[in-house]
Structure 1
Amino acid sequence: MELYRRFILVLISIFLITNVDAQKELTLEEAVLGQYQQFYPDHIFGFNWIENQNKYAYLKQYQTLVVGMVEGEEKEVLHISEVNEALGVRFNYFAGIKWKDEHTFVLNLRNEVLTYNIDTKKGTKIELPENAERITFDHQYNNVAYTLDNNLFYSSVTKYEHIAVTKNDDSNIVSGQEIARSEMGITQGIFWSPTGEHLAFYQKDESNVSDYPLLNILETPGTLNSIKYPMTGQPSEKAKLGIYNLKNAKTNFISTEHGEENYLTNVSWTPDEQFIILAEVARSQKHIWVQKYNAEGDLVKTLFEEKKDTWVEPEKPAHFPSKKSNDFVWVSERDGFDNLYYYSIEGELKSQLTSNAFMLKDIVAAHHGEVFFTATGENPLNTLLYKVNTKGKQVLLTKELGTHSVDVNCTGEYIFDQFSAHDIPNKAVIRKSNGKLVKLMLEAENKLADYNLAKAEVKTIKSRDGVDLYTRTIKPRDFDSTKKYPVLIYVYGGPHAQLITNSWYDGASLWMHWLANQGYIVFTLDNRGSGNRGVEFEHIIHRNLGVIEHQDQLDGVEYLSSLGYADTSRIAVHGWSYGGFMTGTMMMKSPEVFKVGVAGGLVTDWKYYEAMYGERYMDTPEENKEGYEKTSLINQAENLKGDLLLIHGTSDPVVVMQHNLSLVKKFVDLGIQIDFFPYPMHEHNVRGKDRVHLMRKVLDYVIKNNQ
């Protein structure tokens, strides 16, 4: 019996060794380029509900159109080559597909706009000007608006007509583009009315905004590309909203009522097309007025106001639960979390529809007396789907925990739901509006199953003052708790961001797993100030960016120290943008703790950052002189002891090069040696094939210096 037992143990050992040997090792190149290509779990791509039908469509390998019935079969109906042959184009895939009706869809690739009927196999093609941007269709897909340089135009989608909405020769007057540098939920500058008879658009006057030079080295000699960049405390843009009537070709303008440098955000048309509702936000961002204008641009009424000592940040427009009523739902965090408030069109608060002590993320649909919205639920790592009716009855529709991306059909009867979680690579289903499963469309496999990777561990720890903070720890696959491992802390830490989620990879990048297998503990902590935790958690950073965040990161180090296997004498830190600012803060405020830092695209002094973001969190330099001085990395540079690599894209229009170069100059003045690496002609991040070079640069630096 003993001999048999030993024989079995030998067989088990051989099996385990063979199995380990069979595991593949992930290369850094695979980790960087393969995360969203080679290893990205199978997905349903290009899903669209077909209007007024229980039909849907999606793309198979981007080139084949599949149409299906909710409770029926699917059928491959068209290959992109058939569209190309019919219309004399060369589309490689169904670019930007949207359904005009059950039979006809619209495609848009660069400046070409196609319509195609799947029954007749015929369609139309128009070519917009080659440099047309911000191509935006009306809701019926009859017309398309677009910008050329600083002006706005539109055309029919079936017969090209280059119709000018604006004709400004002054390049400082910009129409149809996003304003306020895309802060406050602003993602577009063109707003078609429900019937397409009116076209609203942002217009900004940048005459008083300073020019900022970006160097173009691709010409000989090099040239300067100037952008408009309003820094904190300096003159900013002046915003208007134009309303163009397609029938009479006349435009009326809405201007700010309470300050010429105030912001106009969250534009929405009422269902009857008689009014526009928007929010005017004070430049201080502590006061908003929700306004009702008529279609001629006249102020009808201030519906309500909100104020806060920190900031008020409206990010979502009014939504209308019924197409037959102008009564609307507004999102506000006035009670500490984003909740839904139901208003009459006259500004009367009819009811508070939700009273959730968790964060709403987005409104995905509103019709037939119901509002569908995503929210975290009780665990802030999730993204779940809820609905609430105008009586305030709320229902959770996605019982599976994870990160859900959803699309509700036009009747509100069916929901396409695609989601992942810690143990779910991807799953796509169709469910009824009560949450009941109707059809399983896809259940993806783990494409990394054959690779030698360990799963991340997600936990909560307590800050020194008792606040729950989420952490993610990635260990080597051959982890041995009796050994000591060097640490890399990956940090962002800024507003709106959340690095740790209940999703596939847990929000991590695959290069973190690669580094872990080089013998590292890779650790991330979402500190206070980061997103999806509510006002108390997020607004504590006001006027003192980097202070409480740094404290929370030190509590993370204390946690690592308690584990026994983290070598806290060898801690490196890396981050980009706000994470670069945090990297610098941690290296200079706690030089005895952090040995190596790699900071990319970093803010070094908030006086150099844009007014819209910087003033929200820091007020102006004049109003908060102490806060600006205390948080400036330039003022802390003399404290640096460890090895620091600074990286910046030379064409960065977000965190301009002045940040990094000013800090480098300070180090030179102090006689302190640091390392600096520019990425020529890259903007705020390094993308494409050069990203492999970037991550090799970052991780080689960490490994070499964190001995």
Structure 2
Amino acid sequence: MTKTTISFSKHVYAVGLFVCLVAGHLAAQQKTLSLTDIFGPQGSIFTPRTVSGVNWMKAGGFYTTQQSGKIIKYSIATGEAVETLFDQSTARVEGSNQTIQFEAYELSGDERKLLLATNIERIYRRSFKADFYIYDLASKKLTQLSKNGKQMLATLSPDGSKVVFVRDNNLFVTDLATMTEQSITTDGKRNEIINGACDWVYEEEFSFVKAFEWSPDGKKIAFYRFDESRVPEYNMQIWGDLYPKDYRYKYPKAGEPNSIVQIWIHDLATAQKTKIDVGTETDQYIPRIKWTQNPNLLSIKRMNRLQNRLDILHADATNGQTQTVWSEESKTYVDLEFTDDLTYLADGKSFIQSSEKSGYKHLYQYDMTGKLLKQLTSGDWEVTDLLGIDEKKQVLYFTSSMESPMERHLYSLNLAIPVAKKSKKASPITPPQPVKLSTQTGSNTINMSPDFSYYLLYHQSSQQPLTVSLHEAPTHKIVRTLETNQALRERLAAYNLPQQEFFKFTTSLGTSLNGWMIKPTDFDGSKKYPVLMFVYGGPGSQTVNNTWTNALTAWFKLLATKGYIIVSVDGRGTGARGNAFRTATYAQLGKLETEDQIEGAKYLATLSYVDASRIGIHGHSYGGYMTSLCMTIGANYFKAGIAGAPVTTWRYYDTIYTERYLKRPQDNAAGYDDNSPIQHVNKLKGKFLLIHGTGDDNVHFQNSVDFVNALIKAGKQFDSFYYPNRNHGISGGNTLMHRYQMMTDWVLKNL
């Protein structure tokens, strides 16, 4: 008995020694995460490979991609390349031996031509100008679209015979058969009149640049005309030369004049222009235009300045007369994002439009006069995107937050199921139940083929990097997996990285909030750790999503390896939880959002492993605004904060975004001033770092200048850093590496 016991003990000791040696060897082998791994010149080690640039072909069974200077046609069924449509190394510009290096392309509607963009020159967030070329797939001719200067927004006509583009604020059309260029407008002038492209505030807040649309038959062009002559100019200095240069552009701050917007239709055959009647009120917005299936009927979305009413107008292209067919009003605001799924069905008899009238974003079908035919989706969840409608099979595809506000999944809906007519005795009709098609926990985005035969499913979660799979739409079976990111998984296995955990808590007011937490890799529940909270918090936004690690969350994981807990909480005003939750912050931006971040800090302070005296906060843009408020109004709860490019007074931000949530400052002065960090500088107690780019065209450096002046006047010590000529993202060159090294050192020193 004793002998056996002694032998067993020796065996246990030997095994334990072996395990310790192996563990020590593995620990010695594991790499330590560094800033270079995240922001170095080779890119982030967390960045997944993807399948991008996929353009489905109408000719059935094929798609094209852009790879290494080539445009390659692939078979959907086999995944094999069947043809190289364009090779920049061999194609020569007609009449010369010149080659081009293209950066983007578009295939014509008849799939006989390519439109190629080269020498792209960025302007603002979405806009750019470039040199465009036409490549004829049959003749192999490569022709420059115009030699009269770079163009913007070059777009092929539906039949591929013409191209419309913008240059110097005017609209032009080129006939590709003769390469004849004609001007559609002539009154364009910088900082005064823009034809066919957006002004700054439309581009930034309504998320589009191309302000023209071809009619379905290619015979007409509907276009915007912006008169921004009365909009005040903002002046930024560009540093670098002996004398700094002034850059002036039209930026309407809250309460100031906007551009006067008109909609025109140009008939190519007659060269006649028809002005569309969008009403007598000029202080309004036209956030969308869209041709219906009828080439003589243009659809227009119109909003009043306060954005609490949205109308759909149908315009007769022959005479410009309009009729209002659909409207939605709100006691707060109508957010374009939640009413942006307008689709006209192929039979020309009805359209589908999203609405929040039930309290959640859902889909409804109307006839062409605006009469409601049926509600397509319902429930205490939101449709996030209408992907399209397979009208032959009567199936609608959409993504939704039905499963969880933190996830996105793919669903289909059978439109063939009839909805019974309501009667006085009948209860409200329940729409057909959607069918969930995505199966894995996390977030899914979809690229659906135009004929609805196939779709690409891009799946990711906090635990799994991006995978891309091809599916048959009718059966939803996987055809094949195009990307698994196995190399990324193996690369990260060499690191001992912390994981992201999701949690919920209830505030003192009884509101349930979602959050995530990253703990140190060697976390010990008996110890106490400092916490850095990350916040954005703007209306409709989310930071608490079940998605893969990006560069920012990678930095959070780096801080976790240095002994910090990182937490993010989505407070009131954020998205995917219905209209009431999102609009709770209306007319008082910053108030409830700050309260909820303080509630988050108070909740964390109750956890046994959190050092309540060492809770910090960081955010950029709206998150910089929130950080500034938390460090002042919430000074008793936060030891340190880093604010990047913050709005410090909404009086300095643009009309569309600001007035949507606060009304005009003339109508709601308290909403602008009561929660401006500038008004609360006397409350600052903790360590504070303020960062901004001087070339920020979005949240102007002026915000930080005035904030700094107020802090100085209040006798408050703080740290600040400016990045010359950097825009709102504060990036470019070695900027990200520099910024995050500075922020890392600052956190280690002050938290």
TM over 0.5: yes
2:282 counterpart letter in structure 1: E
The aligned residue for residue 430 of structure 1 is 470
TM-score, reference length from structure 1? 0.93
- In the other structure, the counterpart of 1:344 is 367
Partner of 2:588: 544
Cα distance change, pair 497–90 in 1 and its aligned pair in 2 (3 A): farther
> Retained in 1: the 8 A contact 2:307–2:660?
yes
Q: Which moved more, 1:102-111 or 1:16-25?
A: 102-111
CA distance in 1, matches of 2:90, 2:726: 34
| Pick aligned residue for 2:492 from 444, 448, 451 | 448
Cα distance, 1:43 vs structure 2? 1.5
Q: Residue 57 of structure 1 corresponds to which residue in structure 2?
A: 64
Residue 117 of structure 2 aligns to which amino acid in structure 1? N
Equivalent position to 1:402, from 439, 442, 445: 442
Aligned partner (choices 162, 168, 174) of residue 143 of structure 1: 162
Deviation (angstroms), 1:696: 1.7
Give the secondary-structure state (helix, strand or coil) at the position aligned to 1:598.
strand
For 1:174, the equivalent position in structure 2 comes to 194
Tell me which of 601, 608, 611 is aligned to 1:557: 601
Residues in 1 aligned to 2:539 and 2:160: alpha-carbon distance in whole angstroms = 36
Aligned amino acid, residue 355 of structure 1: S
Q: 1:381 is matched with which residue?
A: 406
Paired amino acid for 1:181: Y
Match of 1:78 in 2: 84
Task: Tell me the CA shift for residue 292 of structure 1.
Answer: 0.9
Please identify, of 345-354 and 407-416, the stretch whose mean Cα deviation from structure 2 is larger: 407-416
Structure 1 residue 151: Cα displacement: 1.9
C-alpha contact 1:213 1:224 (8 A) present in aligned 2: yes
Identity of aligned residues (%): 29
| Whole-angstrom distance in 1 between the partners of 2:157 and 2:594 | 47
Which of 180-189 and 329-338 deviates more?
180-189
Matched with 2:750 is 705
Q: Tell me how many residue pairs correspond in the alignment.
A: 705
Structure 1 position 568 matched with structure 2 position 591:
no
Q: Shift in Å at residue 195 of structure 1?
A: 2.6
Q: Distance in 1 between matches of 2:62 and 2:635?
A: 60
Contact in 2 for aligned 1:266/1:314 (Cα 8 Å): no
Structure 2 residues not aligned, in runs of 5+: 1-7, 121-129, 417-430
Residue type at the aligned position of 1:398:
S
Deviates more, 1:121-130 or 1:308-317: 121-130
- How many Å separate the matches in 2 of 1:248 and 1:33? 57
2:284 corresponds, among 255, 262, 266, to: 262
Match of 2:396 in 1: 371
- The one-letter amino acid of 1:440's match is T
Structure ID, larger Rg:
2
CA 1:424/1:116 → structure 2, altered by over 3 Å: closer, same or farther? farther
Q: How do 1:451-470 residues align onto structure 2 when only pairs under 5 Å count?
A: 451-470=495-514
Could you tell me which amino acid in structure 1 is paired with residue 197 of structure 2?
Q
Residue identity matched to 1:348? K
Q: Does 1:476 align with 2:520?
A: yes
Matched, 1:358 2:381: yes
Whether the 8 Å CA contact 2:113–2:160 is kept in 1: the answer is no
- State how 1:590-605 maps to structure 2 within 5 Å: 590-605=634-649
Supply the AA of the counterpart residue of 1:47.
V
Residue number in structure 2 paired with 1:516: 560
Match of 1:439 in 2: 480
CA contact (8 A) 2:85 2:137 kept: no
Which string of whole-angstrom CA distances, capped at 9 and with x for unpartnered residues, describes residues 99-150 of structure 1?
Answer: 6556654432233434446677555443564432233333444433322232
CA contact (8 A) 2:73 2:84 kept: no
> Cα RMSD (Å) of the superposition?
2.5
CA contact (8 A) 2:292 2:344 kept: no
- Range with greater deviation from structure 2 (521-530 or 294-303): 294-303
Q: Alpha-carbon deviations, 1:173-220, whole Å to 9, x = none?
A: 112222543324545322222232222222211122111111122333
- Map 1:185-196; keep pairs closer than 5 Å: 185-196=207-218
> Shift in Å at residue 507 of structure 1?
9.2
AA aligned to 2:435 is: V
Tell me the CA shift for residue 508 of structure 1. Answer: 5.2
Q: How far is the alpha carbon of 1:532 from its aligned partner?
A: 2.1
**Which SS does the other structure have where 2:311 is aligned?**
strand
* 1:496 counterpart SS class: coil
Structure 2 match to 1:416:
456
Asked if 1 retains the 8 angstrom alpha-carbon contact of 2:74 and 2:83, the reply is: no
Going from structure 1 to structure 2, the CA distance change for 1:81 and 1:264 (only over 3 Å counts) comes to: closer
Task: Tell me the amino acid that sits aligned with residue 574 of structure 1.
Answer: H
2:244 corresponds to: 222
TM normalised by structure 2 equals 0.88
Counterpart amino acid of 2:650? W
- For 2:233, the equivalent position in structure 1 comes to 211
Deviates more, 1:505-514 or 1:374-383: 505-514
Following superposition, the deviation at residue 284 of structure 1 comes to 1.1
CA distance in 2 between counterparts of 1:37 and 1:143 reads 42
Matched to 1:577, the amino acid is S
What amino acid does structure 1 have at the position aligned with 2:76?
V
For residue 297 of structure 1, report the CA deviation from its aligned partner.
Answer: 5.6
- Aligned position for 1:24: 31
Verify the 8 A CA contact 2:61 2:75 in the aligned structure 1. yes
Q: Distance in 1 between matches of 2:158 and 2:610?
A: 56
CA, structure 1 residues 597+149, in 2 after alignment: closer, same or farther (shift >3 Å)? farther
Residues 1:12 and 1:258: Cα distance change in structure 2 (over 3 Å): farther
Q: Amino acid of the residue matched to residue 410 of structure 2?
A: L
Q: 1:69 aligns with which of 61, 64, 75?
A: 75
Q: Does 1:131 align with 2:139?
A: no
Alignment of 1:635-646 (within 5 A): 635-646=679-690
> Which residue number corresponds to residue 55 of structure 2?
48
Deviates more, 1:78-87 or 1:267-276: 78-87
The Cα of 1:540 is off from its aligned counterpart by 0.2
Pair 568,162 (structure 1): closer, same or farther in 2 beyond 3 Å: farther
Partner Cα distance (1:419, 1:684) in 2: 29
Change (3 A) 1:157 1:366: farther
CA separation of 1:324 and 1:617: change in aligned 2, threshold 3 A: same
SS at match of 1:293: strand
Question: Alpha-carbon deviation of 1:94?
Answer: 6.2
Letter in 2 for 1:385: L
What code does the residue aligned with 2:515 have? Answer: T
Shift of 1:160: 4.0
Query: Which segment drifts farther, 518-527 or 536-545?
Result: 518-527
C-alpha change, 1:26 and 1:118, in structure 2 (3 Å) is farther
Question: Does the C-alpha gap of structure 1 residues 154 and 477 become closer, same or farther in structure 2, counting only changes over 3 Å?
Answer: farther
After TM superposition, the structure 1 stretch with the greater mean CA deviation from structure 2, 29-38 or 44-53, is 29-38
Return the letter of the residue paired with 2:241.
E
Question: What do the CA deviations read for 1:617-636 (whole angstroms, capped 9, x no partner)?
Answer: 11112221222221111111
- Compute the displacement of 1:575 (Å): 0.9
Q: Is residue 195–residue 224 contact of structure 2 (8 Å, CA) maintained in 1?
A: yes
On the 8 A contact 1:230/1:610 being kept in 2, the answer is: yes
Measure how far apart 1:326 and its partner are.
4.4
Read off the aligned partner of 2:194 and give its amino acid letter: V
The worse-fitting range, judged by mean Cα deviation, of 223-232 and 175-184 is 175-184
Distance in 1, matches of 2:43 and 2:510, equals 37
Contiguous gaps of at least 5 residues in structure 1: none
CA shift digits 1:253-287 (9 cap, x unpaired): 23531521100122110112121112210101112
The 3 A distance-change label for structure 1 pair 13 and 321 is farther
